[in-house]
Amino acid sequence: MGGSLHKISSSTSGPYGTPPSMRSIDELLKSGIIVINKQSGPSSHQVAAWLRDSFELESTGHGGTLDPNVTGVLPVSIGRASKVIKVLQESTKEYICHLKLGKDLGKNKLEEVFSKFVGPIYQIPPFQAAVKRELRIRRIYQLEILEHNSNSVLFRVECEGGTYIRNLCEDIGSILGTKGVMEQLIRTKSGPFKLEDSFSLVEAHDIFQTWKSSSDEVIMKKLL
């Protein structure tokens, strides 16, 4: 497979057969990724549509849905890159989550229960999810308690794409014998893209306008 991929790459003519660093901005705007730090409020689809209009693009897609009230890393595909966006949707994700429990059960009990969720877990997508509601397996790679104060727990989770963290919070609460509610969620990583690689929609708009009027330098760093 590696040999055939190399053969395809080396024999392709035109801008898409050249390394991204050698492509023009116009070429990158036809096939690239922009990593947005999504704010609370808009849906992932609305973010992609806003970026499409702001950057005067023909099409955009997004690499993994975030609920409107969830913030953090949202890779947005441009043009031809939308054809491979499914790879990003299925890639490993990392989140920081604030979990509110019905009662304080102590850190030792929390750590015991958290350890039970590392590995393959069963989930059924919630009613509001735009996918078929059927039992499926998702894998939790890491689950780490960062802070614990009374019935509030801050934790980090690294998981397979398509894992529902709200469901995870509810299941943790259920095993603990109490209610578990996802109070706040931030996606800190999606595939190879991290929170520090991202920028807001307002920053994206400003960078595009600056490029149109004067400078290429900043926008070149943001088009991946």
Q: Is 67 a catalytic residue?
A: yes
Q: What is the pLDDT of residue 130?
A: 61
**Are β-strands 180-190 and 71-79 bridged in parallel, bridged antiparallel, or unpaired?**
parallel
| pLDDT tens-digit series, residues 44-79 | 999 999 989 988 888 888 877 899 999 999 999 888
Pairwise pLDDT comparison (185 vs 107), residue with the higher score:
185
pLDDT digits (tens, 9 = 90+) for 114-167: 999 999 999 987 766 666 778 999 999 999 999 999 999 999 999 999 999 999
Mean pLDDT over 172-190 rounds to 97
Report pLDDT for 154: 98
Q: Is pLDDT above 90 for 40? A: yes
- Long-range contacts for 26-30 (Cβ within 8 Å, ≥24 apart)? 28/78, 28/220, 28/223, 29/55, 29/57, 29/78, 29/79, 29/223, 30/78, 30/79, 30/80
What pTM value is reported for the model? 0.85
* Pairwise CA distance, residues 201 & 47, whole Å: 8
Q: What pLDDT is recorded for position 9?
A: 37
Structure tokens, 81:
């890159």
Q: Among residues of the chain, what percentage have pLDDT more than 70? A: 88
**Predicted pLDDT at 10:** 38
> Which residue's entry shows tokens 């998702």?
138
Across the chain, mean pLDDT equals 85
pLDDT-derived band of residue 16, with 50, 70 and 90 as boundaries? low
How far apart are alpha carbons 133 and 148 in whole angstroms?
33
> Is 4's pLDDT higher than 80?
no
Tokens for 42, please give them.
């808009």
pLDDT tens per residue, range 85-113:
777 778 899 999 999 999 999 999 999 99
Q: How crowded is residue 85: how many other Cβ atoms within 10 Å of its Cβ? A: 19
Element (H or E) spanning 181, and its range?
A: strand 180-190
The residue with tokens 């929170």 is 195
Contacts 24+ apart (CB under 8 A), 24-30: 25/211, 25/216, 25/219, 25/220, 25/223, 28/78, 28/220, 28/223, 29/55, 29/57, 29/78, 29/79, 29/223, 30/78, 30/79, 30/80
Give the active site residue among 26, 53, 67, 197.
Answer: 67
